[in-house]
Amino acid sequence: MNKSPWIEQLHRTRPERLLEENVSTDVAIIGGGISGIMTAYFTLRYTEKRVALIEGGLVGHGATGHNAGQIVSDFERPFREMVAQFGLEATSNAVSAIEGTWETLEELMHQTNIQVPISYSTGYIGYSTVEQIKAELENMYWRKQGGLPVETLLIASESKEALQGLNPAYQTFVSYIPNKDIWSLLETDDEQYIAVHSSKRACVNSALLTESLAGYLLQTYPERFSLFEKTMVEMIDLGSRSAAISVVGGKEVKSHRVVLCTNGFEQLHIKNSGVNLDTKFHHSVTGTVGYMAGYLDPIDRPPTANTYFEHDNALKPYEPYFYLTRRPFEIESKLKHNLVCVGGPEFDLEDLSAYDRKHEIPKQTAADLDSFLKRAYAHAPKGEIEYKYQWHGLMGYTPNRLRMIGAEPCNPTLMYNLGCNGIGIMASIFGGKRIAMMLAGKKMKPLLFDPQDMRCLIA
Ligand SMILES: Cc1cc2nc3c(=O)[nH]c(=O)nc-3n(C[C@H](O)[C@H](O)[C@H](O)COP(=O)(O)OP(=O)(O)OC[C@H]3O[C@@H](n4cnc5c(N)ncnc54)[C@H](O)[C@@H]3O)c2cc1C
């Protein structure tokens, strides 16, 4: 079973349109998730170009319809680690760019007037070990050095002694409060948590956002926007100023530029003037499958979006953590509930194409989610919980675990807004706007998201 609450909420009435004849366009976008639709939106808004969006299945049904739907401006790599690899300035510029995307989203919602609920809240991140606290303080220290805002870290007064000898430079980032207040912010009875950090968060059904934006674009730009669904791209043949895109069934799209918004490079071959682009690179976008579960509750508490680093998960890069969201949720009868969702377990795939969208959530994974919820969430129902939804989705990871946004160095006819990572909603929106600016001919300052040239050298 892969039953996502986001897909259930779509109630789509728009007819599907398949590619039934050869067409030509200025910009072909492949992949109709949040990154594809955002790229289309900004391109139509900021250029005069014609855009064709080509989706192998249905809009919003990939990772975009199978995530946690938290809007956060976090990265999945600790700030301190990015500074060590890329330097302070480059890291701060990249982080600042994503954090600035809150405004872009607000502006988009205002400009389009699409009616998609977004529940804003303060998100709390709970830490349970001194090592985790120290690592977070180091992140905060470097953020401050990079000129970025820093929220105070609240630490349990009861743990003050264990933190003796803390680097004096970190003391200004810390405030001590009673342990019970930390548990209260995290809505937990679990006494392992000894510190909490807060950040701006929001919850959205990103599939609904994507679907609604598709409807808006079709209506607003009937002359310049076309959308083809159930149209799987097999091959892109890049020329110097154009590309031929072949789809399953034999039809073809000719375009001046192609933007890949496919999450990874699933089921797609790319040729550069008839020669295969280095497949080693394209296979370097690896897959991770994330699992989630959700149940309905009475609507008697405000929205929340919390993250929990447990004892066993020392804050090492890429180690899994658990997250919990609660938000108002409307089902068929228009009855509003709270939907409580938990997620965290992730498993790497050798090969992205090995992911089966319909596979059952493994029993042990479902049990792990249930057991986390019962130990961490103070308001979890007593006894057996009836999960109305259990779902999973695929996250594509680039080797440096940052989204890749921009033109292919070997041939700029091809562009990317992909490699979603597990936190990809904000980065997809940012990427869509950045691509549109590039297509509008604006010179952009370099950023860590720029595709790196490895293949030309290898070829
Ligand atoms: C369990 C889970 C939880 C997550 N939680 C969060 C979260 O809380 N916050 C957050 O910011 N991010 C989260 N993410 C990540 C987020 O969902 C992704 O970053 C985002 O949805 C990626 O969007 P996308 O458009 O790049 O990819 P997708 O939504 O996967 O869209 C790619 C589309 O490309 C299409 N496609 C692929 N190949 C072809 C082809 N050859 N021809 C035509 N079409 C093709 C696919 O059918 C698909 O629809 C989570 C992900 C998962 C799996």
Backbone torsion region of residue 112, taken as left when φ is above 0, otherwise alpha when ψ lies between -120 and 50, otherwise beta: alpha
Written as one letter, the residue type at 37 is I
Measured in angstroms, how far is the CA atom of residue 18 from the centroid of ligand 1?
21
CA–CA dist 270, 341 (Å, integer):
38
> What is the reported pLDDT for 406?
96
Measured in angstroms, how far is the CA atom of residue 397 from the centroid of ligand 1?
11
Q: Is 36 in the pocket of ligand 1 (CB under 6 A)?
A: yes
> What is the reported pLDDT for 333?
63
Give φ, ψ of 73 to 5 degrees: -105, 20
Measured in angstroms, how far is the CA atom of residue 167 from the centroid of ligand 1?
40
Long-range CB contact pairs, 274-281, < 8 A, 24+:
274/237, 275/459, 277/238, 277/408, 277/410, 277/455, 277/459, 278/454, 278/455, 278/458, 278/459, 280/458, 281/454, 281/455, 281/458
425: number of CA atoms within 13 Å, CB side? 24
Measured in angstroms, how far is the CA atom of residue 141 from the centroid of ligand 1?
32
Q: Is 260 in the pocket of ligand 1 (CB under 6 A)?
A: no
| pLDDT tens for the chain, residues 1 to 459 | 799 999 999 989 999 999 999 999 999 999 999 999 999 999 999 999 999 999 999 999 999 999 999 999 999 899 999 999 999 999 999 999 999 999 999 999 999 999 999 999 999 999 999 999 999 999 999 999 999 999 999 999 999 888 888 888 898 999 999 999 999 999 999 999 999 999 999 999 999 999 999 999 999 999 999 999 999 999 999 998 899 999 999 999 999 999 999 998 766 888 887 666 655 556 677 888 999 999 999 999 999 999 999 886 544 444 568 999 999 998 766 678 999 999 988 888 877 677 888 999 999 999 999 999 999 999 999 999 999 999 999 988 888 889 999 998 888 999 999 987 789 999 999 999 999 999 999 999 999 999 886 555 443
Q: Would you list the domain boundaries of the chain?
A: 21-66+206-284+399-458
Supply the residue whose CA is at minimum distance from atom 41 of ligand 1: 233
Q: Is 232 in the pocket of ligand 1 (CB under 6 A)?
A: yes
How crowded is residue 145: how many other Cβ atoms within 10 Å of its Cβ? 13
Is residue 169 within 8 Å of residue 137, measured between CB atoms?
no
Alpha carbon separation from 122 to 3, 200, 307 (Å, rounded): 28, 5, 11
* Residue to mutate (ligand 1; options 54, 199, 425; most atoms within 8 A of CB): 425
Q: Is 66 in the pocket of ligand 1 (CB under 6 A)?
A: yes
Q: Is 58 in the pocket of ligand 1 (CB under 6 A)?
A: no
CA–CA dist 414, 27 (Å, integer):
10
Supply the residue whose CA is at minimum distance from atom 2 of ligand 1: 67
CA–CA dist 126, 132 (Å, integer):
10
Give φ, ψ of 233 to 5 degrees: -80, 130
Written as one letter, the residue type at 393 is G
Q: Indicate the class that CATH gives domain 21-66+206-284+399-458.
A: alpha beta
* Residue to mutate (ligand 1; options 4, 263, 361; most atoms within 8 A of CB): 263
Supply the residue whose CA is at minimum distance from atom 34 of ligand 1: 31
Supply the residue whose CA is at minimum distance from atom 43 of ligand 1: 56
pTM: 0.95
Q: Which atom number of ligand 1 is nearest to the Cα of residue 36? A: 25
Q: Is 290 in the pocket of ligand 1 (CB under 6 A)?
A: yes
> What is the reported pLDDT for 337?
92
Q: Which atom number of ligand 1 is nearest to the Cα of residue 69? A: 8
CA–CA dist 15, 29 (Å, integer):
20
For the record, the structure tokens of 187 come out as 């809505």
For the record, the structure tokens of 120 come out as 């804003």
3-state helix, strand, coil in the chain (%, to 5): 30, 30, 40
